[in-house]
């Protein structure tokens, strides 16, 4: 039997205990917030690091594991199990290269997602899939991943308030993994670049910021072929659907000038099919600020 470090969140605590029985000499680490620079200092001496949870948990496990084996058991649609990097949040956002973890899908895990986690993870995954779809870096394979992810996620957009059964949650995780594979090829672009400074400055959850921004960038990009993936005829209809299915967070004292300036520093902001200037970005953010 191998020794293990199990990384989990409060939602997956019970499940972490169950998994621990398969290993000898187990340590636990409960994640309560997205990874910060502190976790770079954590030393791991176990054979394997297991992450059970959403994006923050899996990113933490990926970073801590370094050259040791890392197993990811995703419980949301974050898609972090499919990418060879992790995000660290501090005064600025850093991308840390990691190994891609070994994905384990556990279909029997008792799962539940609160409404806000569900809304946020669906829109994060959707942002990954949509941004990848209109990226300048697409390949036939990345397009295929994003199309599949969008089709699965679209079902959930149309029933955002209804009850989720086990099957639905597994479908969301699968969609998130597909979208993760798409961005592992293309990277994200305009919406994610803009989301980072908003999360850092105002402490708002990553997925919630993605959901707030996405309709406005869909409108700006007006990308041919995208509405059809949602079984819609026009960008206008798609924008309406996205706005209808997401309750945006409220930002107090939203400094659109500052955010536009900070967002432009992320090179990926212009990896979408239509370039954006700081001026146009400011205009879009003003609409959001109301």
Strand partners, 30: 8
Cβ neighbours around 281 below 10 Å, total: 23
> In degrees rounded to 5, what are phi and psi of residue 94?
-125, 140
Q: What's the count of helices (H) and strands (E) in the chain, helices before strands?
A: 11, 7
CB 182 within 8 Å of CB 243? no
Q: How many residues bind Zn ion (CB under 5 A)?
A: 1
Distance in Å, CB of 43 to Zn ion, minimum: 28
Helix (H) or strand (E) run with residue 191 in it: helix 190-202
- CB-facing half-sphere around the CA of 235: CA atoms within 13 A: 13
Per-residue tokens: 16: 């972490």
Q: How far is the CB of 178 from Zn ion (least distance, A)?
A: 14
Stretch that binds Zn ion, among 24-32, 117-125, 228-236, 255-263 (CB under 5 A): 117-125
**Contact stretch for Zn ion (CB under 5 A) within 38-46, 121-129, 149-157, 224-232:** 121-129
Figure out which of the listed residues 56, 74, 88, 124 binds Zn ion, where binding follows CB under 5 A: 124
Closer by beta carbon to Zn ion, 124 or else 205:
124
Q: Which is nearer to Zn ion, 209 or 264 (CB)?
A: 209
Answer for the pair 199, 89: CB distance below 8 angstroms, yes or no. Answer: yes
Using CB under 5 A as the binding rule, whether residue 59 contacts Zn ion is answered as: no
Q: How far is the CB of 124 from Zn ion (least distance, A)?
A: 4
Looking at the Cβ atoms of 59 and 124, the one nearer to Zn ion is 124
Instruction: Report in angstroms how near the CB of residue 276 gets to Zn ion at its nearest.
Output: 18
User: Least separation, in Å, of the C-beta of 62 and Zn ion?
Assistant: 15
Residue-wise DSSP of 207-238: HHHHHHHHHHHHHHH--TTHHHHTT-S-HHHH
For Zn ion, which stretch binds (CB under 5 A), given 22-30, 41-49, 122-130, 255-263?
A: 122-130
In the bound state, the residue with its beta carbon closest to Zn ion is 124
| Min separation Cβ 210 and Zn ion, Å | 6
Residues found near Zn ion in the complex (CB under 5 A): 124
């Amino acid at each position: 039997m191998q020794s293990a470090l199990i990384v989990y969140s409060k939602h997956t605590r019970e499940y972490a205990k169950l998994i621990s029985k398969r290993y000898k000499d187990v340590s636990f680490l409960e994640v309560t917030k997205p990874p910060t620079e502190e976790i770079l200092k954590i030393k791991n001496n176990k054979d394997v690091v297991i992450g059970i949870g959403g994006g923050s948990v899996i990113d933490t496990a990926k970073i801590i594991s370094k050259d040791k084996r890392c197993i990811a058991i995703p419980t949301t649609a974050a898609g972090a199990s499919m990418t060879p990097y992790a995000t660290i949040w501090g005064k600025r956002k850093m991308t840390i290269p990691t190994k891609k973890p070994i994905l384990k899908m556990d279909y029997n895990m008792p799962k539940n997602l609160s409404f806000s986690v569900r809304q946020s993870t669906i829109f994060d995954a959707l942002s990954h899939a949509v941004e990848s779809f209109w990226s300048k870096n697409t390949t036939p394979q990345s397009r295929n991943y994003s199309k599949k992810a969008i089709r699965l996620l679209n079902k959930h957009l149309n029933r955002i308030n209804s009850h989720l059964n086990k099957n639905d949650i597994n479908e969301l995780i699968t969609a998130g993994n597909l979208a993760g594979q798409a961005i592992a090829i293309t990277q994200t672009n305009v919406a994610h670049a803009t989301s980072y400074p908003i999360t850092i400055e105002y402490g708002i959850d990553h997925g919630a910021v993605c959901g707030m921004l996405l309709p406005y960038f869909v409108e700006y990009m007006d990308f041919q072929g995208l509405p059809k993936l949602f079984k819609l005829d026009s960008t206008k209809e798609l924008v309406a659907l996205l706005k209808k299915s997401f309750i945006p967070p409220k930002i107090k004292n939203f400094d659109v000038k500052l955010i536009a300036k900070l967002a432009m520093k992320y090179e990926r902001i212009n990896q979408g099919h239509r370039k954006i200037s700081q001026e146009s970005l400011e205009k879009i953010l003003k609409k959001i600020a109301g």
